[in-house]
């Protein structure tokens, strides 16, 4: 959803007259936009030089804060897409909210948080405070992302051993315990072979080393790429057989038929699954809270930008009408043309150098916001 945050020059009719005129031209007599009053406090102005410097800084700060909003949002939806499909309604992740309401609703009814960011303190200090908040969010996001990724990587590695290619998976559960020969002198190995090389292996395996039991090879399983063959040999030549197999491009492995070990492995996998889900769920909750904080910080930065650019554009004392506009997507060009005509010659032209915003000159201050809920 696209919004324009604009500061319009206030004519002699005053703020209410300017608002009524805008509503008549863009909403009542035509379907060009839906408009909302946007409350901007009377900030402590400072010097012209300080405003000029702050104007340059705010371009960078706005980009950084908006970037934080988008990073948290993307991470949140990635986590929600990775959630178990069978979780209950109570466990399902919520929609993004900002102070208890939807992002568009928060924006449309924006109120400056005076307790958190006193409007009478220097604007530079306010910007620094907001920057500090978002920087901490960024740092926390990086740390939590790293921790969650490490947990998922461990789980995926374990799953590959169970469900991956025969070349990488655990083969213990593929050979029935009754077919394993395990005595003081004899042992069963499984050999993973490229499927195309299986016939050659079956002809030559007895000669890979001494003490291989003749005609002991059995095809255990195969997939589109590999075959798994069991071979019985004397324990004394296990290492020699593995080395000889490796030289031929085969993987010879020892497996266990210990039911207790297999049960422990299964339990370990389930514990790891549970740990990953706990980490995912906690990370999702953090993202929901942090999105609210980051989005609020972004709109506060935009309010400061609107004020600073309006003072630089229209001068002192502050006399401008701050408005949030939701343009009709089918009438964007027509709306811009109407506003340009309505406010031309008042306050010069404003160039929007905001990344992703309009790259045109307007006779009013204008920022473009793209608000995505999903």
DSSP 200-235: HHHHHGGGSSSSBPTT--EEEEE-SSEEEEEEEEEG
Least confident of 110-119, 281-290, 338-347: 338-347
Distance CA 22, CA 8 (A): 10
Give the SS3 label for residue 39: coil
Distance CA 167, CA 250 (A): 10
Tokens of 305: 């930008």
- Residue among 108, 113, 56 at smallest CA distance from 305: 56
pLDDT of residue 162: 74
Tokens of 226: 């590999």
pLDDT band for position 374 (50/70/90)? Answer: low
- List Cβ<8 Å contacts ≥24 apart for 311-314: 311/45, 311/51, 312/48, 312/51, 312/52, 312/55, 313/7, 313/347, 313/348, 313/350, 313/364, 313/365, 314/7, 314/9, 314/347
Tokens of 290: 């942090």
Distance CA 142, CA 137 (A): 9
- pLDDT tens digits, one per residue of 88-116: 555 555 789 999 999 999 999 999 999 99
Distance CA 300, CA 171 (A): 58
Distance CA 198, CA 106 (A): 66
Q: Is residue 291 within 8 Å of 72, Cβ to Cβ?
A: yes
For each of the domains in the chain, give its residue range(s) and CATH number, in order of start: 1-42+318-374 (3.30.70), 50-165+257-309 (1.20.1460.10), 177-255 (3.30.70.100)
342 vs 159, residue with greater confidence: 342
Least confident of 29-38, 284-293, 337-346, 362-371: 337-346
Tokens of 14: 């005053």
pLDDT of residue 91: 56
Rounded to the nearest integer, the mean pLDDT of the chain is 89
Tokens of 210: 């001494």
Tell me the mean pLDDT in the region 336-352: 73
pLDDT of residue 372: 78
Tokens of 55: 């104007």
pLDDT band for position 308 (50/70/90)? Answer: very high
- pLDDT tens digits, one per residue of 140-182: 999 999 999 999 999 988 887 777 778 878 787 787 777 789 8
Using only C-alpha atoms, the chain has a radius of gyration, in whole angstroms, of: 34
Burial letters for 214-226: b for 16+ Cβ neighbours within 10 Å, e otherwise?
A: eebbeebeeeeeb
- Residue among 2, 25, 21, 1 at smallest CA distance from 13: 21
- pLDDT tens digits, one per residue of 1-50: 999 999 998 876 688 989 999 999 999 999 999 999 999 999 988 888 89
- Residue among 44, 58, 32, 35 at smallest CA distance from 107: 35
DSSP 135-146: HHHHHHHHHHHH
pTM of the model: 0.79
**pLDDT surpasses 80 at 213:** yes
- Residue among 89, 81, 83 at smallest CA distance from 278: 83
Judging by DSSP bridges, how do beta strands 2-9 and 218-222 pair with one another?
Answer: unpaired
Least confident of 168-172, 233-237, 303-307: 168-172
pLDDT band for position 234 (50/70/90)? Answer: very high
- Residue among 274, 296, 354, 279 at smallest CA distance from 72: 296
pLDDT of residue 228: 94
List alpha helices for the chain, DSSP H: 14-23, 48-81, 103-108, 123-163, 198-204, 238-247, 259-314, 332-343
DSSP 160-178: HHHHS-TTTS--TTTS-GG
């Amino acid at each position: 959803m696209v919004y324009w945050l604009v500061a319009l020059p206030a004519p002699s009719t005053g703020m209410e007259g300017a608002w009524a005129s805008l509503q008549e031209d863009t909403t009542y007599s035509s379907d060009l936009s839906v408009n909302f009053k946007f409350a901007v406090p009377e900030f402590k102005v400072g010097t012209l030089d300080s405003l000029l410097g702050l104007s340059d800084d705010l371009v960078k700060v706005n980009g950084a804060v908006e970037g934080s909003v988008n990073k948290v949002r993307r991470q949140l939806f990635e986590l929600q897409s990775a959630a178990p499909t069978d979780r209950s309604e109570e466990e399902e992740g919520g929609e993004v909210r900002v102070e208890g309401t939807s992002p568009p609703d928060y924006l449309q009814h924006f109120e400056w948080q005076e307790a958190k960011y006193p409007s009478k303190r220097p604007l530079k200090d306010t910007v620094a405070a907001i920057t500090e908040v978002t920087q901490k969010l960024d740092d926390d996001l990086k740390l939590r992302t790293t921790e969650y990724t490490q947990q998922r990587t461990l789980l995926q590695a374990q799953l590959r051993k169970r469900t991956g290619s025969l070349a990488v998976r655990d083969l213990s559960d593929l050979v029935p315990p009754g077919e394993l020969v395990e005595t003081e002198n004899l042992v069963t190995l499984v050999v993973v072979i490229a499927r195309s090389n299986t016939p050659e292996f079956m002809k030559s395996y007895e000669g890979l080393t001494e003490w291989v039991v003749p005609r002991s090879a059995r095809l255990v399983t195969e997939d589109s790429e590999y075959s798994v063959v069991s071979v019985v040999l004397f324990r004394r030549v296990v290492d020699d057989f593995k080395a000889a197999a490796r030289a031929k491009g085969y993987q010879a492995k020892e497996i266990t038929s210990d039911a207790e070990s297999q049960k422990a492995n299964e339990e370990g996998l389930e514990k790891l699954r549970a740990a990953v889900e706990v980490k995912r769920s906690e990370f999702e909750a953090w993202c929901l809270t942090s999105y609210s904080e980051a989005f609020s910080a972004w709109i506060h930065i935009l309010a400061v930008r609107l004020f600073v650019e309006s003072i630089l554009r229209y001068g002192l004392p502050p006399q401008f009408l701050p408005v949030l506009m939701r343009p009709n997507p089918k009438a964007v060009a027509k709306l811009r043309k109407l506003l340009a005509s309505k406010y031309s010659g008042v306050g010069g032209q404003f160039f929007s150098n905001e990344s992703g915003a309009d790259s045109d000159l307007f006779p009013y201050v204008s920022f473009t916001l793209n608000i995505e809920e999903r």
